[in-house]
Structures are given as C-alpha cells and as structure tokens.
Amino acid sequence: MTMNVADYARECAARGLRGDYSVCRADFTVAQGYNYSDEEQAVWRTLCDRQTKLTRKLAHHSYLDGVAALGLLDKIPDFGEVSEKLRKLAGWEIVAVPGLIPAQPFFDHLANRRFPVTNWLRTQKELDYIVEPDMFHDFFGHVPILTQPVFADFMQMYGKEADSVIALGGDEMITRLYWYTVEYGLMREPGQPLKAFGAGLMSSFTELQFAVEGGEAHHVAFDLETVMRTGYEIDKFQRAYFVLPSFDALRDAFETADLAAIVARRKGEPALDPAKGLKG
Ligand SMILES: [Fe+2]
C-alpha cells in the first residue's frame, strides 16, 4: 500500500501536478527552498491582507490566537522559523512538501505531529480559486489552529487511526470526518456567535462568508457517525456545515468512538445527502 517516491513522482507528472516531486525524500518532504520572487511575496501579502479582514470577524478566536502567536503573515513564512514557534507552543512542526502526497505518509506525518505544507504559492491570477492546495491554503488555513492543544491532539490521533480505518474499508468515512472538521468545520460555543475554524474556509474568501454569514448555509450539529456518513462537495460550496460546541467535543468523540464498529455498520451504504435528512 505504501507508494514509493519515484512512482508517485511519475504519477504526479502525468497528472500535471505543479510541484517538483523528483526531489522528494522517502517521507515525501522536500527543502522549502526559500527563494520566492517579489511577485510571489506580493501575492502572499494580498491574500493575507484580504483574508484577514474576514477572519478577524468570522474565525474562531483560537485560530486568531494562533495567528497572533505565530505572527508571520507579512511575508511568506520560513518553515523553520514557524516550526520553532510551533514546537514550543504545541509540540508540532511543519514540513515542506511539493503538494498533495499519498495518504499513508500524510497520516504518518500527522501521527508524529508534523503538518505537511506545500512549498509553492498560487499566482496573481489564482487569488480566488486554485485546483491543488497551495501554501496559502496549507499555511494560512491549517497552521494557526495547530497552536491549540486540544485540536492539535485530535490531529495527531486522526493520523494514528486513519490507516486502520482505511484497512477496514472506511476510506470515504474517515475522509469525510477530516473534510467536515479540519477543512470545513464551524464552531458555536455556548452563548457565542457562530465562527469558523476549518482550513478550507479560512483560505476561501467567498465560502468563509457563505458558511458563517450566508443565510442559505445549512448548519448541522456535529455528530461523529453522521459526519462519517455524509457526502461532500469538492469544487462547490458545501451543502451542509457541521457545528462543534468545542474542540474537546471533537477530540472526545473521536477518542471514545468505536471506529471499527461504525465502519462495519455503515460500509457500503450510500452517502447521506447533506441537503436532506440531517438534523440541524
Ligand atoms: Fe487542507
């Protein structure tokens, strides 16, 4: 099941992926290679300035606390500097990758408290949409929240468990959990307004507003098994967003769930349609 780097590099070249996979190490990491052009630095600042205007009001405070603690949005981050801060704050580090990497090494990085971040950035023409995740998505979206201990622990647990869930046939189910929490998760703490923390939302100018403020977004209370059964959208706005009451609720649900039993119970069922039948 483990794919070697040379095979993966050939596959990525055939698929036209942008990163240079030929220089990957065995764990699919590369050197960040900090030699970004002035134009790339300008794109980074544009993206961060524009998105920060939204995250200030729509992001969960733990994400904003993470941004403040890392304090590196005025220039393309140096991954070594970020890792130094992240290690002290939460025992995590970031590693550079050329883009998407296979599931098994990705989970292995998470299980060892390393988050893979793409080392290249979208162009000026791609400010609003990019097919492959780039550094802005990976860094601006994912990294600040890793400073939060409970969420950071959940991410490690997810990395440790994912392989065994996949081995049982729960590939789609474990992916949906990541999608609806790590990528598109919302949070409403008791007595507090609705906020977002998922990286897909943090790095999207339009969907962040739609998910939190748009009157048409469908909000559903988080339930682990429901999440694992619910289909999702890849290149459209989600038709439902799951709302957590706290990160503790996510970690505790994952830690105490019998994932093998859920997979055994639900394997082969058609995915739930997020627009129908989910309790809000
Ligand atoms: Fe992501």
Tell me which CATH code domain 165-280 carries. Answer: 1.10.800.10
Q: Which fold has domain 1-147?
A: Phenylalanine Hydroxylase (1.10.800)
Confidence of residue 279 (pLDDT cuts 50, 70, 90): low
Query: What CA–CA distances, in Å, run from 76 to 38, 125, 140, 157?
Result: 10, 18, 10, 29
Which one from 62, 93, 109, 137 is the annotated catalytic residue?
137
Strands 186-187 and 195-196: antiparallel
Give residue for tokens 């764990």: 27
pLDDT at residue number 277? 60
| Average of per-residue pLDDT across 209-220 | 94
Which one from 161, 172, 183, 207 is the annotated catalytic residue?
183
Q: d(Cα 152, Cα 27) in Å, to the nearest integer?
A: 21
pTM given for the model: 0.95
Answer yes or no: 246 catalytic.
no
User: With left for phi above 0 and alpha for psi between -120 and 50, is residue 71 left, alpha or beta?
Assistant: left
pLDDT tens track for 38-88: 999 999 999 999 999 999 999 999 999 999 999 867 899 999 999 999 999
Answer yes or no: 137 catalytic.
yes
pLDDT tens track for 225-245: 999 999 999 889 999 999 999
How remote is the CA of residue 17 from the centroid of ligand 1, in Å?
A: 16
Residue 113: phi and psi, rounded to 5, are 55, 45
127 token code pair: 């400010």
pLDDT tens track for 91-139: 999 999 999 999 999 999 999 999 999 999 999 999 988 889 999 999 9
Which one from 142, 161, 172, 207 is the annotated catalytic residue?
142
Delimit the CATH 1.10.800.10 region(s) of the chain: 1-147, 165-280
How remote is the CA of residue 31 from the centroid of ligand 1, in Å?
A: 20
> Among 221, 222, 198, which residue's Cα sits nearest to residue 210?
198
Answer yes or no: 142 catalytic.
yes
Answer yes or no: 60 catalytic.
no
What share of the chain in percent tops pLDDT 70? Answer: 98
